[in-house]
Amino acid sequence: MPGVEGFMYPNEVSLYWSVLIVLYPYITGLVAGAFILASLVRVFRVEAVGPTYRLALLTALAFLIVAPMPLQLHLGHPERSFEMYLTPHRTSAMAMFGFVYLWYLMAVLTVEIWLDYRGDIVMMSQTTRGWRRLLYRVLTLGSANVSERALHIDERVGWFITLIGVPSAILLHGYVGFIFGSIKANPWWSSPLMPVVFIFSAMVSGIAAVLLLYMAMMRLRREPIDMRCVDTIAQYMLYIFIIDFSLEMLDLIHRIYEADESFRSLDFMVHTKLWSSQVVLQICIGTLVPIVLVGLVQVTRLSSAVRKRIYAISGSLTLIGVLAMRWNVVIGGQLFSKSFLGYTTYKMGLATREGLLVSIALIILPLFILAALVKLLPPWPQKRQEAAAASAPAH
Amino acid sequence: MSIFRDAGHLFRLAGVYLAGTLLFLVVRAVVVPHSFGQYGHYRGAAIAEIAAKPLHFAGHQTCEACHSDVARTKASGMHAHVNCEACHGPLAKHAADPSIDPGKPDVATLCVRCHAASAARPKDFPQVDADQHADGVPCNTCHQPHSPAIGPASAASGGAK
C-alpha cells in the first residue's frame, strides 16, 4: 500500500485528524497567549506593554471567534455543535470544551473588552452616524454613564475579570492539551506534561503574534514603534520560551530514559518522518533560533532598527515553530501503528474541506476579523483622544 | 444610592446575560425531546419507535418450518452456520405470504462476497480468484450453495455431479 511501511492495523492507515485539528490548538493557543499578554498590564502591572493591551484583547477575541471553526469544518454539520449545550455529555472531554470555550468567550473576554471600551463606546455612540451609531448605542446597553465613579467601577470590575481571566486562559488552552494528554492509548500524546507544554507554547505564540501585529500595525499607521514596549514583550517571550523549551526537553529526556515499549518506534519516527518538521523546523528554526536571537538582544547593545528586525524575524519563526509543534503532536501521533511496527503517511488535500487552502483561509480569517474589530473599537490612544475631543462639546 | 446609579450599566449587562440564559433555557425546553435522558444519553422514545418499525427479516426458524429439506442439507454442510437470509436477503414478506416469490440470489456476485481471495481473510477460509477458478461458469454449476463441498452429499442434493 502506498505510503505505508511495516505493519499497520487497517484503521490506522489513513489519518482521522487532519491539518484542521492542527489549527485548532494553534488558534486556541494564540487566544490564550494574547490574553496572558493583556493580563501583564492589568493584573501584573507591567506598564511597559500597555500600548498593546487593547490590541492583545482584540486579537484574542478575533482568534477565539475562529477557534471552533476547524473543528466544525472537520466534523461537518456545524449546526449540531449547539446540541453540545442543549444535551451536555459530561464524560466527553471534547464536548466539555464547548463550555470552557463559552465561559472564556462570554464571561471573560467579551466582558473585559466591553468594560475597557465602555467609555469609548459611549463617546462614539454620540459622535458617529448611521449604522455605526446604532451599533455603538446597542453596545452601550442604554447606559451613557461615564462618570468618574462609573469608570472607576469598570476599572475595578475589569481588574477582577482579568484576574479570573488568567486561570481561565490557562484552563482554555490547558484543556486543549488535556484532550491530547489524556488519550492513554497513544504514547505520543499520553503525558501529564502535555497540558503544561501546551499552555507555555500557547503563551509564546500569542505573545509573538501580538508583537508582530503591533509592529505591523504601527508600520501601516506610519507611527513610531514604542521600543520600550516591544523590548519588554520580547523579554517576556524569551523567558516563557525558555520555560517552554525546558519543559519540552524534560518530556523528551523523560521519554528517552524511561524508554518504554513505544520508545523505539517513536524514536524511529522522529528520526525519519518527523525529522524535518520536528527537529529542523520546530526545535532548531522555530525554537533555538528565536531564543538565541532575542537572547542576543538582552546581552548586546543593538540599535532599535536592528532590534525591530530581530523581533520581526524571531516572532515569525516562533509562530512557525509553534505551528510545527502542533503539527508534530497531532499528525505525529497518528503516523505510527499501535503495533509499534509500522508507519503511515499523511497526505494533505489542497482544495478539499480539510485541505491546505481551507487551512490558509482559517489562519487569515482572524486577521480580517481583527481588522474589523480595530476599525470598530480603535485600540490606539490617539484615536481615543480624537473621539474624546470630538464628543467634548456634547457634554 | 449612587453606587447603583454608577454601576447601573453592570446591572444592564447582567440583565442581558440573564435574558440570554433564559432564552437558552426556553429553547432547550422546546428543542430537547422530553424523553431525552430517560434511559441514558439518548432519546428514550427512540426505543419504542425503532421497535415499532416493520420487520424485514423472518429468521431462520421461520424458513426451516417450511423448507425442512433444505435445512437438513444445510445442517450437514459447511454453510450450516450461515443464516438463510444472509444470502437470500430479508424474507419477512415471503414468510407472511408464501405466494410472494423471493427470487434467487445472483451467485456471480453473492459467493465472491465471502470467497474472493483476500489477504485480510483467515488462511484456512476457502477463497478463490473467481476468474481463474471458474472462468465465468456460475458457482452453483459445481457447488450446491446449501452444502457447497463437492462430493456425494452435494451431488445427491442436486449440486456438482
Say yes or no: B38 and B76 in one domain.
no
Cell numbers found for residue B96: 407472511
Task: Strands of B3-124 (E only): list them.
Answer: none
Q: Report which secondary-structure segment, H or E, holds A6.
A: strand A5-6
Q: To the nearest 10°, the Cα dihedral for A2, A329, A179, A78?
A: -60
Assess whether pLDDT exceeds 80 at residue A395: no
On whether residue B78 sits in a domain, the answer given is yes
CB contact under 8 A, B17 and A106: yes
Task: Decide if B16 touches A, using CB distance below 8 A.
Answer: yes
Assess whether pLDDT exceeds 90 at residue A342: yes
Give the C-alpha distances (Å, rounded to integers) separating A147 from A144, A384, B5.
Answer: 9, 17, 10
Say yes or no: B31 and B84 in one domain.
no
Distance CA A86, CA B63 (A): 47
On whether residue B161 sits in a domain, the answer given is no
Say yes or no: B41 and B72 in one domain.
no
**Average pLDDT for runs of 10 along chain B of length 161:** 80 96 97 94 95 94 95 94 95 94 90 89 91 89 91 48 36
Q: φ, ψ for residue B123 (rounded to 5)? A: -60, -35
Task: Decide if A150 touches B, using CB distance below 8 A.
Answer: yes
For residue range B47-83, list pLDDT tens digits in order: 999 999 999 999 999 999 999 999 999 999 999 999 9
- Domain holding B129, by residue range, is 60-156
Assess whether pLDDT exceeds 90 at residue A122: yes
Task: Decide if B119 touches A, using CB distance below 8 A.
Answer: no
Distance CA A340, CA A89 (A): 33
Say yes or no: B126 and B73 in one domain.
yes
* A5-381: CATH superfamily: Formate dehydrogenase/DMSO reductase domain (1.20.1630.10)
Residues 6 or more apart whose Cβ sits within 8 Å of residue A174: A195, A196, A198, A199
Cell numbers found for residue B147: 452444502
Q: What is the mean pLDDT of chain A?
A: 93
Say yes or no: B29 and B87 in one domain.
no
Residues A269-291 have a mean pLDDT of 96
Assess whether pLDDT exceeds 50 at residue A208: yes
Tell me which chain B residue has its CA closest to the CA of residue A156: B7
Contact list, B9 vs chain A (CB under 8 Å)? 118, 140-141, 143, 145, 150
Q: What is the interface pTM, i.e. ipTM, of the complex?
A: 0.87
On whether residue B115 sits in a domain, the answer given is yes
pLDDT confidence of residue A338: 93
Assess whether pLDDT exceeds 80 at residue A266: yes
Task: Decide if B13 touches A, using CB distance below 8 A.
Answer: yes
The Cβ of residue A112 has, within 10 Å, a number of other Cβ atoms equal to: 25
Give the C-alpha distances (Å, rounded to integers) separating A63 from A133, A135, A264, A362, A371.
Answer: 26, 22, 38, 10, 12
Instruction: Provide the pLDDT confidence category of residue A384 given band limits of 50, 70 and 90.
Output: low
Residues A350-361 have a mean pLDDT of 95
Residue A302's Cβ-side half-sphere holds a number of Cα atoms within 13 Å equal to: 18
- The number of domains in chain B is 2
Say yes or no: B75 and B47 in one domain.
no
Distance CA A165, CA A41 (A): 13
CB contact under 8 A, B9 and A141: yes
Say yes or no: B138 and B80 in one domain.
yes
On whether residue B151 sits in a domain, the answer given is yes
Contact list, B8 vs chain A (CB under 8 Å)? 143, 145
Q: What is the DSSP string of A281-340?
A: IIIIIIIIHHHHHHHHHHHS---HHHHHHHHHHHHHHHHHHHHHHHHHHHTGGGSB-TTS
Ranking A214-218, A278-282, B3-7, B85-89 by mean pLDDT, the lowest is B3-7
Cell numbers found for residue A293: 536571537
pTM: 0.84
Assess whether pLDDT exceeds 70 at residue A242: yes
Q: DSSP letter at A342?
A: E
Say yes or no: B66 and B43 in one domain.
no
Distance CA A284, CA A292 (A): 10
Say yes or no: B43 and B109 in one domain.
no
Per-residue buried b or exposed e for A181-208, using 16+ beta carbons within 10 Å of the residue's own CB: bebeeebbbebeebbbbbbbbbbbbbbb
